Amino acid sequence: MMIKTTTIKNRKEQNIVVLLELSDNQKGLAFVMHGLGGFKEQEHIKTFAAAFKEEGFSAVRFDTTNTLGESAGKYEDATTTNYYEDLEDVIEWSKSQDWYKEPFWLCCHSLGGISIALFAEKNPNMVKALAPISTVVSGKLTMEKPKYGEPDEIKKWRETGWKISESKSKPGVIKRLPWSFMEDKLKYDLLDNVDKLTMPVLLMVGDQDDSTPPEHQQILYDKLPGDKEIHIIKDAPHTFNDAKQLVEIKEIMRKWIRKWAKPRITIVDKNDKIIGYKERGTLTKDDIYRVSALWITNSNRNILLARRHHTKSHHPGKWGPAVAGTVDEGEDYEENIIKEAEEELGLKNIKLESDQKTETTREYHHFTQWFTLTTDKNINDFKIQEDEVEEIKWFPAEELSKQLEEHPEQFLPTMKKYLDLFK
């Protein structure tokens, strides 16, 4: 894993300090964000990031501006708007990096929670899954919660213009929050567009939380339209600090990540235009999906074939193209075949040629985009993925034609058609 810190500019030309923890074999990308007055090194923020890293993800943590971290600005200038805009700016910057991948995961705490949920409501196709932990649900509910619900406290804050308190994360630091913060916060309500949050959502909150209490999380949970979980952490306050509780929330997160990390299959229409996505194992006979395939030959015109692993659900133990894969959500045909070639045969930095696209309507209905590659690698120089491929073999073209005639049961039903394509 590569770990580095960098500094970027937000839309106001202020510095934002970003911590990158990049996996060597990235399974996904997660942005992890703190709450009001927080910072990227808080124990619960580090725990959120660790859950993703331990599942093979790259994690991006950053300090918003106007907080107690390393980025620019003053705490008293903090607003929900500036947190949300900084999140947008970090994601926008990330798009230019080679590790960037959509759809990504968002996991944040408190004010960061409402920020990522607002982003997901606006950009649902960019977000794979959402974990707004101890999240602010709306400015209106914030005014009603026990911590701010005392009329005298609200009145004093409005009249004096300031709420003054000591930081729990950095003892000795005095926080001064202007009434304008609450005026800005009252503009936001997740419930207005909650129907857009169709991705999997994980909610967690301490049963002693008096800032974003369990009853507020339940209101949000009840209105979420998609797959959702809610966990109440016993004896936990708003900010998780207890070591035992941190272990508990990390295990909850890792289990949730494992559940949803498997990519969905891209579903297309009869013109090969994307119309949606489905979990593996849920496709019906009416679904059309995408497959990428790589036809590999050498300078002697021998053809490299792979025998599918006997545990595969489709055509186990059959000989077929050297590399093939079902196109997943967030990738196109070429991205998929490059990934599959590295995973299944250990091929890196290969120069592919795009070839024909075919349509199969027999047992399964899918489009196949073909790519070709010429290489004179010895069979022992390939590194096969043993849970996907039983073995690989160079077939002389004439021998392959003969085998297909004499032992068709050993090959994919469409193998003769594929051979004819590349004669």
Domain boundaries, the chain: 2-260, 266-421
Measured distance CA(140)–CA(192) in Å, rounded: 12
Q: For residue 314, what pLDDT band results from cuts at 50, 70 and 90? A: confident
Q: Answer whether 239's CB lies under 8 Å from 169's CB.
A: yes
The separation between CA 65 and the C-alpha centre of its own chain, rounded to angstroms, equals 24
- Tokens of residue 414, six digits: 């469409």
**Residue listed under structure tokens 């609450």:** 182
Between residues 136 and 413, the one the model is more confident about: 136
138: Cβ contacts below 8 Å, ≥ 6 apart: 114, 188, 189, 190, 191
* The pLDDT of residue 263: 77
| pLDDT reported for residue 150 | 63
Pick the range with the lowest mean pLDDT from 2-6, 109-113, 179-183, 314-318.
314-318
167: confidence class by pLDDT, cuts 50, 70, 90? confident
* 266-421 to CATH, choices 1.10.3720.10, 3.40.50.10490, 3.90.79.10, 1.10.540.10: 3.90.79.10
More confident residue, 364 or 96: 96
Compute the average pLDDT of residues 408-413: 92
261 pLDDT tier (thresholds 50, 70, 90): confident
CATH superfamily placement of domain 2-260: Alpha/Beta hydrolase fold, catalytic domain (3.40.50.1820)
Q: What is the pLDDT of residues 214-251, one digit of tens each?
A: 999 999 999 999 999 999 999 999 999 999 999 999 99
pLDDT of 213: 94
Mean pLDDT of the region 3-17: 98
How confident is the model over 373-394, as pLDDT tens digits? 999 999 999 998 887 889 999 9
pLDDT at 146: 58
Note the pTM of the prediction, 2 decimals: 0.67
| Alpha-carbon dihedral 363, 364, 369, 375, rounded to 10 degrees | -60
Higher per-residue confidence, 309 vs 192: 192
Instruction: Name the band, by pLDDT with cuts 50, 70 and 90, for residue 399.
Output: very high
Structure tokens at 61: 């943590």
The burial class, CB within 10 Å (0-12 / 13-18 / 19+), for 363 is exposed
What mean pLDDT value characterizes the chain?
Answer: 93
pLDDT, position 312: 79
Please report the pLDDT score of residue 166 as a whole number.
Answer: 84
